[in-house]
Amino acid sequence: MDNFTSVGERIKSIRKHHKLTQIEFAQSLEIAQGTLSEIESGKAKPSFEMLVLLADKFLVDMNWLVFNRETELHLGLQNDELLLLENYRNLEQIAKDELIDFSNLKLLRYQRKL
C-alpha cells in the first residue's frame, strides 16, 4: 500500500484495497458507517480497539497503520517468503485454492523422493 499521511487515509486505503463499501467495512469493524466516514475524512480518530481489530482482521502492520512506518520485523520470514505471501494476498480466491493444491502436490512429490 502507498504512503498515506493520516490514519484515516490508511484505513480508507485498506477498505479500497479489499473492495469494500463503507457500510461493509464498518460492519466488519463493528462500527457505524458514519463513524467510519468521519475517521476516513480525518474528523474523528479511531479507537485503539478498532485499530487492533482492523490490523488483525485485515492483516495490516500496526506500525504502518498507526505511525505510517514500515516495519523491518517480518517474524523471521525470508524475502522470497514475503514475496509469496504478498502475491498470494493479491490473488482471487479460486487462484488461492489452486496455489494451495499445487503446493500440496509439490510437498507430496518431495516427500516421496526422501
Q: For the residues of 11-37, what is the DSSP string, one character each?
A: HHHHHHHTT--HHHHHHHTTS-HHHHH
Instruction: For residues 74 and 67, give the distance between their C-alpha atoms in angstroms, rounded to a whole number.
Output: 17
Q: What digits encode the pLDDT tens for the residues 99-114?
A: 999 999 999 988 876 5
The pLDDT of residue 83 is: 85
**C-alpha span between 91 and 25 (Å, rounded):** 20
- Please state, rounded to an integer, the average pLDDT across all residues of the chain: 87
pLDDT higher than 60, residue 16: yes
pLDDT at 63: 85
Which one is predicted more confidently, 43 or 80? 43
As a whole number of Å, the end-to-end CA separation of the chain is 41
Given a cut of 90, is residue 38 above it in pLDDT?
Answer: yes
